[in-house]
Amino acid sequence: MSADSSIFLPIFIPSTGRIVVARPDRLGDVLLSTPALEVLRRTYPKARISVIAQPRVAPALRGLASVDEVIEFEPEGRHTGWRGFWRLVSTLHQGRFDLAIVLQAPARVAFALLLARIPIRLGPYSKWYSFLTYNRGVRQRRSQVEMHEADYNLQLLRPLGIQVGSRTVATQAAISTEARADVERWLVSERVDLKARNWVAIHPGMGGSALNWPEAHYEGLVSALLADGAGVILTGGPGEQEILDRFRGRFGSHPAFRIYGGKSAPDVQRLAALYSRMNLVVAPSTGPLHLAVAVERHVLTFYPPIRVQSAKRWGPYEGPVLDASRVQHAAVFTPEVYCGQEFRCLGERCTSFPCMKTISVERVAVEARKLLER
């Protein structure tokens, strides 16, 4: 890993110290932070490690051996406004932390860590407030996309004397016994016979942080997989009910088509439990994709050629590469066009727009069949 950095050494933390890690982001961002959490646990096996995360993402962390506590950050709830800010400061102060590691966080969280009087605050020197709130750090320009997001997180541990190679520590997601049992009951109730055919989970929706494959192409892939004799389970979150309804209208009568999620979407542990039972998961650059990688499934995904949205930074983080027992494989599709854009799509001003459409259903179906044969 290489990047322009400013590192202040040494940082000494007691072996039984208290560490808080901040990553109050979306699901994919948090899952790509779990290698850093695992490395911290290996380095400080007796330390108490807490993580600041948003409530909807917290279940993916609860139960991991690397995490002792999840502090839920609710920017739209109990931590809104000045009263909510001081409530967060009070919570962090009561934690008596020796070290705060900020993988990424908004200014509100960064200043709360400062005012909580945590003596060592380590984070990326990138935002304006980072120079005011962190007293140890690494100079990072993540928008330059010199490495994967998970590797940027690992790089932040170097001031602690921790150096880890890329893709030597896998991402993780917690799955409780209860979550697994709930999914097994759902599979039985829906007559999903995992032995009779291959089952593919497809998650066509996303939050808009990157360009997606067209919905019509996802429909074409569902048709191709069903025609091959595979089963398809469509997954989606509460805000993706309309997408699920459109697919239900077309494929709902097929005996090998199911829908899991929607308005009554399960939490991330149950989605992880479902994915862990699939032969293949298809999803764009979104949290469910990284959830499938974390539970060691074959994945097939789509990324735009825009630099900050590219697979180089946000793609499936397969690993560890030295572990031959892992059979996981990722197929990544990116439009074969010249883009040249760094931050956002030009839309109709680009001669290749819409480029994601150029990834054909036929190419994707061929690769899906290869993954299902493994």
Q: What is the DSSP string of 130-179?
A: HHHH-SEEEE--GGG--S-HHHHHHHTTGGGT----TTSS-------HHH
- Say which amino acid occupies 308: V
The length of the chain is: 374
Convert the pLDDT of each residue in 256-302 to its tens digit. Answer: 999 999 887 789 999 999 999 999 999 999 999 999 999 999 999 99
- The architecture in CATH of the region 18-160 reads 3-Layer(aba) Sandwich (3.40)
Give bridge partners of residue 232 from the DSSP assignment.
Answer: 200, 257
Give the model's confidence band at 102: pLDDT under 50 very low, under 70 low, under 90 confident, else very high: very high
- Compare 351 and 306 and report the one with higher pLDDT: 306
Burial of 7 (0-12, 13-18, 19+ CB in 10 A): middle
Spans of all domains in the chain: 18-160, 177-373
Q: Contact 108/75 with Cβ under 8 angstroms?
A: yes
Fold of 177-373: Rossmann fold (3.40.50)
Could you say which DSSP state residue 100 is in? E
User: In Å, how far from its chain's centre is CA 136?
Assistant: 26
Mean pLDDT of 43-56: 97
Q: Contact 241/262 with Cβ under 8 angstroms?
A: yes
For 321, residues 6+ apart whose C-beta sits below 8 A from its C-beta are 167, 168
Could you say which DSSP state residue 284 is in? -
User: Does residue 204 carry a pLDDT above 60?
Assistant: yes
Residue with tokens 């917690």: 174
Burial of 119 (0-12, 13-18, 19+ CB in 10 A): exposed
Give the model's confidence band at 15: pLDDT under 50 very low, under 70 low, under 90 confident, else very high: confident
Could you say which DSSP state residue 3 is in? -
Nearest residue to 335 (alpha-carbon basis) of 202, 200, 210, 166: 210
Angle, helices 215-227 vs 361-373, to 10°: value is 40
What integer pLDDT is reported at residue 322 of this predicted model? 46
User: Does residue 5 carry a pLDDT above 60?
Assistant: no
Longest Cα–Cα distance in the chain = 63
What integer pLDDT is reported at residue 351 of this predicted model? 81
Convert the pLDDT of each residue in 320-354 to its tens digit. Answer: 654 555 556 899 999 999 888 889 998 888 888 89
Region of 323 on the Ramachandran plot (φ > 0 left; ψ -120 to 50 alpha; else beta): beta
**Dist. CA 23–CA 210, nearest whole Å:** 20
Mean pLDDT of 128-139: 94
Domains 18-160 and 177-373 share a fold: yes
Lowest mean pLDDT, pick from 24-33, 86-95, 117-126, 349-358: 349-358
pTM of the model: 0.93
**Dist. CA 236–CA 271, nearest whole Å:** 10
What integer pLDDT is reported at residue 348 of this predicted model? 82
User: How many other C-beta atoms lie within 10 A of the C-beta of residue 149?
Assistant: 21
Give the model's confidence band at 6: pLDDT under 50 very low, under 70 low, under 90 confident, else very high: very low
What integer pLDDT is reported at residue 240 of this predicted model? 93
Region of 25 on the Ramachandran plot (φ > 0 left; ψ -120 to 50 alpha; else beta): beta
The pLDDT mean for the chain works out to 93
User: Does residue 68 carry a pLDDT above 60?
Assistant: yes
Element (H, E) at 113: helix 107-115
